[in-house]
Amino acid sequence: MNIESITMVELRRMGMYDANHQIGMWADCLKAESSQNTSSSAILEEQDGGMENLSEDARLGIVGPSKPYEQEESKPSDKVIRRLAQNREAAKKSRLRKKAYIQQLELSRIKLVQLEQEVDKVRHQGVYIGEHIDNSIIGYSGSINPGIAAFELEYGHWIEEQNRQICELRAALQGSASDIELGILVENVMKHYDDLFRMKSIAAKSDVFYIVSGLWKASAERFFLWIGGFRPSGLLKVLSPQLNPLTEQQLMAVYNLQQSSQQAEDALSQGLDKLQQTLSETIAADPLSASGMTNYMGQMGQAMGKLEALVSFVDQADHLRQETLQQMYQILKTRQAARGLLALGDYLQRLRALSSLWAARPRERIQDY
Amino acid sequence: MQKTLPYTQENPWAPPPSPAAGATGSPVTPAADVKAGMLSKAVAENPVVVLGLRGCCMVHVVRRLLQGQGVNPTVCEVGDDAEAAALAGEIAGDGGKEGGAQQEIQLPAVFIGGSLVGGLDRLMAVHISGELVPILRDAGALWL
């Protein structure tokens, strides 16, 4: 082995020593940062300065044996020294940048954890204002829709009152409340649902797409969405088994109600399909034709008129929900109605709880550097 | 499938239209009083009549709902709300006294057995409460 290869080996070994030492340095810096954010940069400088001295000495040590390699060109030795100095500077700057970057990542990670905790906390309270800031209250234009903001606030209160009423119903049914007491509770719950439909009707005038898409609802509730709410026939199917025992007449009546609701839902769905069809026909045009461009505003105007009909659909769907609820109230005796409303409220609570659990489920965290 | 009819056309329920009515039977808007008369005629001669704005999707909903009950409704279309209001006044004037307040008619409007039942709201309510089928049967709209 000649002198040249020995020199290269030494150079390489020197490089490795550098790298290892640097990694050890970073590890120390991270520990320093997590314990003490303030003076870490000072520590870094110091250590780095020490490191630099070390490498300089080592490198000076190496320049000696490498001289025979360099002797063929005596002038380039100055160039080499300058090049090595530049390399040192560049490497130092790179290390500093890397440290600053890691420091920032660490701070961001802490912030992210805090935000996640906040979001989970708010979710558990069943109020979704924070979540919806992006897609509803602040629309694409960046301005806040006050009608919808008001609705979401009211809905939060509505849910609180709903939960309280459910507890009251449960206690009354498990205890020995009289039919009169149950009757009052039932009436309160019915009025409470009327309040919700009233709120929805006002909000629909503010932003019908928000209502149609059920954006205020929990995710599992939204899974069952039909024109801004639940299908009355669907809820009947789920909950009527819990109403037993029912008389023959009542069973017939409930079954007929389910059928009627289904028919009404189908009629509304078909009407909505027709609206979709006419809307797309109104809006669509050949982008390359001249007439397509001249008709543009006319088409938009027509389409705007068609969209007004969407508000009617939301109103009719909610009207159907109210009518179905009222009819059940007619069919059932007081105690049965109380059990029915408890079953309905409990079922919706479970769907909301499921949504929260799903949102908070553990997921793979992004690996740290 | 029931086609929507502008004012004149013959339909299975009514006798063939008179020549005068036939002359003005085009989809282009004829005179208001002639139309009013034709609406009264349609309502008198058909057990189920739906009055609605042209191109309205709610008319579709009403029609589907009635067809689901086994009924083939006669659909009459108007061009705009003003025409509908004129017709409503005429219908109300027929039954009631002269000088009575003009009824605010909500479109689409459903007439069963010659009298006004109401809008889609009312139709839904009557359907859910189970009263729709008896009303239809009494008007002779159902085959059963």
**Would you say residue B96 has pLDDT above 50?**
no
pTM: predicted TM-score of the whole model, two decimal places: 0.66
Identify the CA nearest to A267 among candidates A227, A305, A225: A227
Mark whether A216 and A179 lie in a shared domain. Answer: yes
Mark whether A234 and A288 lie in a shared domain. Answer: yes
Res A141: pLDDT: 44
Contacts of A263 in chain B (CB under 8 A): 65, 68-69, 127
Identify the CA nearest to A110 among candidates A187, A33, A184: A33
Cβ contact, residue pair B65, A263, below 8 Å: yes
In this structure, is residue A68 part of a structural domain?
A: no
Contacts of B56 in chain A (CB under 8 A): 309
Res A22: pLDDT: 53
Mark whether A180 and A239 lie in a shared domain. Answer: yes
Q: What average pLDDT score do residues A341-359 get?
A: 96
Question: Last residue of a domain, which of A133, A168, A194?
Answer: A133
In this structure, is residue A283 part of a structural domain?
A: yes
Q: Sort B52 into a burial class: Cβ within 10 Å, 0-12 / 13-18 / 19+.
A: buried
Closest chain A residue to B68 measured between Cα atoms? A263
In this structure, is residue A87 part of a structural domain?
A: yes
Mark whether A283 and A221 lie in a shared domain. Answer: yes
Mark whether A98 and A246 lie in a shared domain. Answer: no
In this structure, is residue A350 part of a structural domain?
A: yes
Greater confidence, A277 or A291?
A: A277
ipTM over 0.90: no
Contacts of A308 in chain B (CB under 8 A): none
* % pLDDT > 90, chain A: 57
Res B106: pLDDT: 82
Q: Is B55 on the interface with A (CB under 8 A)?
A: yes
Mark whether A123 and A190 lie in a shared domain. Answer: no
Q: Is B124 on the interface with A (CB under 8 A)?
A: yes
Mark whether A235 and A351 lie in a shared domain. Answer: yes
Q: What average pLDDT score do residues A166-177 get?
A: 94
Among B57, B60, B65, the residue with its CB nearest the CB of A264 is: B65
Q: Smallest CA–CA separation between B129 and chain A, in Å?
A: 6
Q: Is B41 on the interface with A (CB under 8 A)?
A: no
Mean residue pLDDT across chain A: 81
Contacts of B73 in chain A (CB under 8 A): none
In this structure, is residue A227 part of a structural domain?
A: yes
Contacts of residue A274, Cβ cutoff 8 Å, sequence gap at least 6: B57, B60
Interface test with chain A among B1, B57, B123, by most A beta carbons within 10 Å: B57
Question: Last residue of a domain, which of A69, A98, A133?
Answer: A133
In this structure, is residue A101 part of a structural domain?
A: yes
Range in A38-52, A213-227, B15-29, B69-83 the model is least confident about: B15-29
Mark whether A127 and A150 lie in a shared domain. Answer: no
- Rounded to 5°, the CA angle A304-A307-A310 comes to 165
Among A264, A278, A312, the residue with its CB nearest the CB of B128 is: A264
Give the SS3 label for residue A1.
coil
Res A110: pLDDT: 84
A236-289 confidence digits (pLDDT tens): 999 999 998 999 999 999 999 999 999 999 999 999 999 999 999 999 888 888
Res A137: pLDDT: 47
Mark whether A243 and A329 lie in a shared domain. Answer: yes
Cβ contact, residue pair A261, B128, below 8 Å: yes
In this structure, is residue A17 part of a structural domain?
A: no
Mark whether A210 and A281 lie in a shared domain. Answer: yes
A103-112 confidence digits (pLDDT tens): 888 888 888 8
Q: Is A257 on the interface with B (CB under 8 A)?
A: yes
Mark whether A90 and A209 lie in a shared domain. Answer: no
Cα–Cα distance for residue pair A282/A139, rounded to 1 Å: 25
Question: Last residue of a domain, which of A102, A133, A164?
Answer: A133
In this structure, is residue A342 part of a structural domain?
A: yes
Three-state SS letters, A143-202: CECHHHHHHHHHHHHHHHHHHHHHHHHHHHHHCCCCHHHHHHHHHHHHHHHHHHHHHHHH
Interface test with chain B among A236, A268, A273, by most B beta carbons within 10 Å: A268
Q: Smallest CA–CA separation between B65 and chain A, in Å?
A: 5
Q: How many residues does chain B have?
A: 144
Domains, chain B, in order of start with CATH, read 47-94+104-139 (3.40.30.10)
Specify the number of domains making up chain A: 2
Res A288: pLDDT: 83
Interface test with chain B among A255, A270, A307, by most B beta carbons within 10 Å: A270
Mark whether A311 and A356 lie in a shared domain. Answer: yes
Contacts of A257 in chain B (CB under 8 A): 128, 130
Assigned token pair, A47: 């250590």
Range of the domain at A121: 82-133
Cβ contact, residue pair B130, A260, below 8 Å: yes
Q: Is B27 on the interface with A (CB under 8 A)?
A: no
